Amino acid sequence: MTALRLALVQLAVGAQKTANLVSARSKVLAAAKAGANMVVLPECFNSPYGTQYFSQYAEEIDTASPSESIKALSEMARDSKVFLVGGSIPEREKSTGDLFNTCTVWSPEGELVAKHRKVHLFDIDFPGKIVFKESEVLKPGNSLTEFSTPWGKFGVAICYDMRFPEVAMIAARRGCVGMIYPGAFNQTTGPLHWELLLRARAVDNQIFTAACSPALDRSATYHAWGHSTIVDPYARIVATTSDAEDIVYGDLDLDLIGNVRQAVPVYSQRRFDLYPDVSAAG
Ligand SMILES: O=C(O)CCC(=O)C(=O)O
């Protein structure tokens, strides 16, 4: 199997849902034309990011009767023939009316292959900087998520989920070759932790990691960090960008995983007699 070309679409997201979907589609098609096999959209790519917006922009995820964003995502994947990690959208659960921050993953045939509801909600309080409480509006998901591709399995999680090492550790020990995170860090925690967390998840687990952010919009209520980034299993940055709209490409050589695990064999040196193997859970 040849290297996987991964593309992260750092989309400029605005207040018009349809315009966001049209713009996302054109970028996904452009990435496919540039040879991408897998394309990632940002967290909350169809709406501005903020608890005040989730209910207004929320959609049910029902492939039998697809709503606007679900139809658009399926068609984007099918028409560009890529695996599409469809960022996230605010999801409304039909039976309960509960809202979730949800990532859908689509096959090159346009079929829904995975759905991840953000499991760790973004509730933080940085005095004088940023207060954000997703849990005022959203419910957390209750499962970890992975999907299969011809290049191997990938774990998927959303933004704040990146801070919880167990998520990537469990995915890696269950055989995933990479973790994909649609995310939208901000101007406070972005410079502090975004790159550090991506490189940490990569070095701990000797896998690829990638996070895809919206572009920075100074007129929006939430100022995204941007800097969509791909990291290799040695924890080196493969590709990154600044905060403007952009597409970040990386060619993932899957052999690097075996190479680094041979050079630094932590996989065979773990001491499960001293601490539990978290990948055995769940
Ligand atoms: O963890 C952070 O600092 C940012 C997280 C975030 O923005 C999110 O979960 O949407």
Q: What is the pLDDT of residues 161-217, one digit of tens each?
A: 999 999 999 999 999 999 999 999 999 999 999 999 999 999 999 999 999 999 999
Q: Among this protein's residues, is 118 annotated catalytic?
A: yes
Could you report the per-residue pLDDT of 106-126, keeping only the tens digit for each? 999 999 999 999 999 999 999
Q: Among this protein's residues, is 60 annotated catalytic?
A: no
Selected catalytic residue, list 17, 27, 115, 118 = 118
How many domains does the chain divide into?
1
Question: Regarding beta strands 208-212 and 229-231, do their DSSP bridges make them parallel or antiparallel, or are they unpaired?
Answer: antiparallel
Residue 259 pLDDT greater than 60, yes or no = yes
Could you report the per-residue pLDDT of 131-155, keeping only the tens digit for each? 999 999 999 999 999 999 999 999 9
Residue to substitute in 122, 163, 188, 201 for testing ligand 1 pocket (most ligand atoms within 8 angstroms of CB): 122
pTM of the model: 0.97
Local structure of residue 207 (DSSP, 8 states): S
Region of 5 (left: φ > 0; alpha: ψ -120 to 50; beta: rest) is beta
pLDDT of res. 219: 95
Distance 106 CA to ligand 1 centre (A): 24
Residue 49 pLDDT greater than 70, yes or no = yes
Q: Phi and psi at residue 270, in whole multiples of 5°?
A: -65, 150
Query: Is ipTM beyond 0.85?
Result: yes
Distance 122 CA to ligand 1 centre (A): 6
- Ligand 1 pocket, residue 194 CB under 6 Å: no
Nearest CA to ligand 1 atom 9: 160
User: Which residue range(s) make up the domain with 269?
Assistant: 3-280
- Ligand 1 pocket, residue 163 CB under 6 Å: yes
DSSP string across 1-64: -PPEEEEEEE----S-HHHHHHHHHHHHHHHHHTT-SEEE--TTTTS-SSTTTHHHH-B---TT
Token pair, residue 238, equals 């493969």
Could you report the per-residue pLDDT of 231-252, keeping only the tens digit for each? 999 999 999 999 999 999 999 9
- Ligand 1 pocket, residue 160 CB under 6 Å: yes
pLDDT band (50, 70, 90) for residue 279: confident
CATH number of the domain within which 166 lies: 3.60.110.10
- Mean pLDDT of all residues belonging to the chain: 97
CB burial of 12-26 (b: ≥16 within 10 Å; e: otherwise) equals bbeeebeebbebbbe
Nearest ligand 1 atom to alpha carbon 184: 7
Could you report the per-residue pLDDT of 62-75, keeping only the tens digit for each? 999 999 999 999 99
pLDDT of res. 278: 84
